[in-house]
Amino acid sequence: MDQTAVVRTQLTVPLRLSDGFTATARVFTFQGLADGGEHLALGLGDRSVAPVASADGPPPLVRLHSECLTGDVFGSQRCDCGPQLREAVERIDERGGYVLYLRQEGRGIGLYAKLDAYALQDAGLDTYDANVALGYAKDLRDYTVAAQMLHALGETRVDLLSNNPDKACQLDRLGVTVASRVPTAVHVSPANHRYLSAKAQRGAHTLDLSSSPVERPGA
């Protein structure tokens, strides 16, 4: 990773999530990110005041969360993105660390293409084959900017909140040591069971669907 990013602005933002959970976040913007995107870091817990270098202390808990308008904002149950973001904010607020909100909608293919992929999934393809049928790779996400953001915040060692081993592999390769990978809960519902099964079987996500009760609407 040759390009260096720096913090552009930082400010305190009080959060109130849709279920009423509240937290205080220190929101960071950056300049010099490799893809020129408007990615955000939300410092929570002890990182809600200012960056705290962790070389001599426990590493921060970090979630690399790819933007999902349908799940994060509108509560779509076709994926588990909204519940994962909600879980991450609370767990990181308790522990101290960052949510990196990465503008990589649809595993990097964009919002409209993701909706096109949904239509193909309704016709029988799984989430990976749908992307390929549209002319994309199964997963286009690149975490170079995430590593740049962490370096800009003074963090070179993290505990990673994720079920996706590719995130840890990419961060390690980009100069951020993943001290441990902390699994998220399995947020399975009737609407997303097939999607999560594909992630477990084809994307190597550590998801044990056999022992996870399916969440029923309204439960």
Cβ proximity of 80 and 44 under 8 Å: no
Look up 139 and say whether it is catalytic.
yes
Looking up tokens 């992307």, which residue turns up? 131
27: β partners: 11, 42
Strands 97-102 and 157-161: unpaired
Look up 141 and say whether it is catalytic.
yes
Catalytic residue among 139, 157, 172, 202: 139
Cβ proximity of 67 and 102 under 8 Å: yes
Strands 61-66 and 157-161: parallel
Half-sphere exposure of residue 89, counting CA atoms within 13 Å on the CB side?
A: 22
Catalytic residue among 26, 141, 172, 216: 141
127 phi and psi angles, rounded to 5 deg: -65, -30
3 burial (CB, 10 Å; 0-12 / 13-18 / 19+) is exposed
Say how far apart CA 161 and CA 65 lie, in whole Å. Answer: 10
159: β partners: 61, 180
Measured CA to CA in angstroms, residue 117 lies from 123, 180, 192 at distances of 10, 33, 14
Active-site annotation, residues = 139, 141
